[in-house]
Amino acid sequence: MTVEISVLLFAMARDRVGTDRVAVPLVTRHWPSRQLLLDYLFQTSPELQVLTELRPILAVAINEQYVTDDDTDIVLEDNDVVALIPPITGG
């Protein structure tokens, strides 16, 4: 079953990709960890590959809920939103 999600991009991630949203089809709904989901997103989406160097500093939110534990099972449905959020600086 193919599921399509939206990946939202913020700040420097949005600037590097050139858009604030990328649609990504997933081969499965279930992801055993945040890291495996990110691996898939970065490997299969040409738009997201330009963010590879930012990956260690990106926060991840799914449907407006931060995912901080890499051991958390993730189940995604059609039209779910995964946000990639770099640290925000400013004054």
Q: What is the pLDDT of residues 5-19, one digit of tens each?
A: 999 999 999 999 999
What are the pLDDT digits (tens) for 25-83?
999 999 999 999 999 999 999 999 999 999 999 999 999 999 987 778 999 999 999 99
Cα gap 82→91, rounded to integer Å: 27
Both structure tokens of 1: 């079953």
Domains and their CATH numbers in the chain: 3-85 (3.10.20.30)
d(CA 41, CA 88): 22
Query: Residue 30 pairs with which residues in a beta bridge?
Result: 75
Going by C-alpha positions, the residue among 46, 41, 55, 43 that lies closest to residue 85 is: 55
Contact 88, 13 (CB under 8 A): no
- Number of H helices and E strands in the chain, helices first, is 2, 7
